[in-house]
Amino acid sequence: MVSSEPTATISPETRSAIDVEIARYPRKRGALLSALRLVQRQHGYISPEAASELAGIFELRPVDVMEVISFYNMFHDRPGGRHHVYVCTNLPCSLRGARGLLRGLEAHLGVEPGGTTADGRITLAHEECLGACGYAPMMRVDETYHENLDEGRAKEILDALE
């Protein structure tokens, strides 16, 4: 999913996909969040160069794009692991041991909170409520939810990630 050498430019495929998104909205800028997601899918994060290019496409200033990137949890402005794993630590999940689970996974991977494994596979962090409160504790691995977890199963899931 993440290219090993992120280039500064947006690929033609990503650019086409962005154009498709732009056509869906009455005003161009409505497609910005989608575009950021597409660029992030290409490189794993959104670099200042990519942000500048997006600014050009959307007729915005680079700082406008950067503001948006910095506001939302799901956008990364720096490279991380090939997979982003988030354990929800909000109240219903914490009531059912989410924080202990997270600490166990940090130890298992050998990372600090929010850190990335040495082999570049996984960035592990906490996240706020993901809407799975009845199936706690749980975690999000990229776009997939894993619910009703115990530490054993959670570790298995992480170990299987490439």
Under the criterion CB under 8 A, does residue 71 sit at the interface with another protein? yes
Provide the pairing of β-strand 83-88 with 139-141: antiparallel
Under the criterion CB under 8 A, does residue 36 sit at the interface with another protein? yes
CA distance 40 to 124: 17
Beta carbon nearer to another protein, 132 or 154 = 132
> Could you give the angle at the alpha carbon of 68 between the alpha carbons of 49 and 40, nearest 5°?
50
Beta carbon nearer to another protein, 3 or 95 = 95
Beta carbon nearer to another protein, 82 or 126 = 126
Under the criterion CB under 8 A, does residue 56 sit at the interface with another protein? no
The pairs formed by 73-77 with CB atoms below 8 angstroms and a separation of 24 or more are 73/127, 73/128, 74/37, 75/36, 75/37, 75/40, 75/46, 76/40, 76/44, 76/45, 76/46, 77/45, 77/46, 77/47, 77/48
- For another protein, how many residues bind (rule: CB under 8 A)? 55
Phi, psi of 111 (to 5 degrees): -125, 155
**Which positions from 105 through 124 interact with another protein, judged by CB under 8 A?**
none
Question: Smallest distance from the beta carbon of 87 to another protein, in angstroms?
Answer: 13
Could you tell me which stretch among 10-18, 69-77, 106-114, 151-159 binds another protein (CB under 8 A)? 69-77
Beta carbon nearer to another protein, 119 or 128 = 128
Residues forming the site for another protein (CB under 8 A): 24-34, 36-37, 48, 51-52, 58, 61-64, 66-68, 70-75, 89-92, 94-97, 99-100, 127-136, 140, 143-145, 147
